[in-house]
Amino acid sequence: MALKTGIVGLPNVGKSTLFNAVSTSAKAQASNYRFCTIDPNTGLVDVPDNRLYQLAEIVKPNKVVPTQIEIVDIAGLVKGASKGEGLGNKFLGNIREVDAIIHVVRCFEDENVLREEGAINPVSDKEIIDTELQLKDLESVEKKIQKIAKQARVGGDPLAKIELDILERVKSWLEQGKNVRQLGLVKEELPAIADLFLLTIKPTLYVANVDEPSMHTGNKYSEMLQKVADEEGAEMIILNNSIEAQIAELEDADDKAMFMEEYKMTEPGLNRLLRSAYKLLNLATYFTAGVQEVRAWTIEKGWKAPQAASVIHTDFEKGFIKAEVISFDDRIKYVTEAACKEAGRLRIEGKEYIVNDGDVMHFRFNV
């Protein structure tokens, strides 16, 4: 699945530093001036999952293939972006193309890092970005209302009336300075706004970029951000983006372990970020395990077996017959497929089977 997560925030809050830390396929320029990033940088990021390597330990495959998320480093937004300030229209268009947002907020003091917004205030910084996204969404919603109002009010189209009611509710919500993802639209109402690709409906994870002394405990600024994230029902994690970037630069595993030990880290903070991003997108993982490769596959939670098979190849869904399924815990416990089968832990599932996170699967199909 080609899933994209965009890194956004004000200029000079540590977005490109974070991108460089997470990306395995690209490096972004990180500099202390506005609009250092103009064209978005894109990189593929391996999603950390120890289960994949536990399977590899018992299967001994030729290769191990983790699942990935595409990360996009989007240039810093400024006040007035919704009206085109600071190349705003271009940058907002970049956000429209992603599935979820990682919003980086500055939670540290450093007079050497340029800042145009005055004293450090993570809440107002967040609100600047929110406001620009809301204004752009409001513009999109108002245009669609104008388009269908005549059909609903003059033409009497009942479907148009329903759609107009939903759009009017969204418009009112945005005018209150609220994000559409908080409105609580039900599944049946979403088609009314699906073609607008609204920015504030995208699931969002907040990253409090703190200084080194605060990387484990947080500080007064991250506490301020945590409070507003909790009110929104969003998740927030604390990182020191600079330290994470340094860890990512180390290629030798021993050097990396020594560096993390020095900073009292059991794993890179980026692992938490990537797991949170995966959760944010409502994703699950299933595995295929054979001598050629042990591989993790990304699906959306709730997918049935034929849909899950389609991420390997569309023919797998078209010609789906059944799936052989072993839970991850059973596969580790009994070691071999034959032992799982003997213990009655290998199941044959049909088209209605909802795949569980961690299932080890083999698909039978005929095209």
User: Would you state the structure tokens that stand for residue 147, as one six-digit string?
Assistant: 């388009």
Q: Could you tell me which of 22, 18, 17, 16 has the C-alpha nearest to residue 40? A: 16
Q: Is 6 annotated as a binding residue?
A: no
Q: Is 12 annotated as a binding residue?
A: yes
Distances (CA, A) of 109 to 32, 38, 104, 210, 286: 14, 25, 15, 9, 43
In the chain, what's the furthest Cα-to-Cα distance?
Answer: 72
User: Would you state the structure tokens that stand for residue 359, as one six-digit string?
Assistant: 């299932």
DSSP 218: -
CA 171 to chain centre: 26
Q: Do residues 72 and 175 make contact, with C-beta atoms less than 8 angstroms apart?
A: no
Three-class secondary structure assignment of 52-120: HHHHHHHHCCCEEECCEEEEEECCCCCCCHHHCHHHHHHHHHHHHCCCEEEEEEEECCCCCCCCCCCCC
User: Would you state the structure tokens that stand for residue 271, as one six-digit string?
Assistant: 């692992």
DSSP string, 107-173: E---TTS--SSSS--HHHHHHHHHHHHHHHHHHHHHHHHHHHHHHHHTS--HHHHHHHHHHHHHHHH
Q: Is 276 annotated as a binding residue?
A: no
Q: Is 86 annotated as a binding residue?
A: no
Q: Is 14 annotated as a binding residue?
A: yes
Q: Is 13 annotated as a binding residue?
A: yes
Binding residues for ATP: 12-17
Binding residues: 12-17
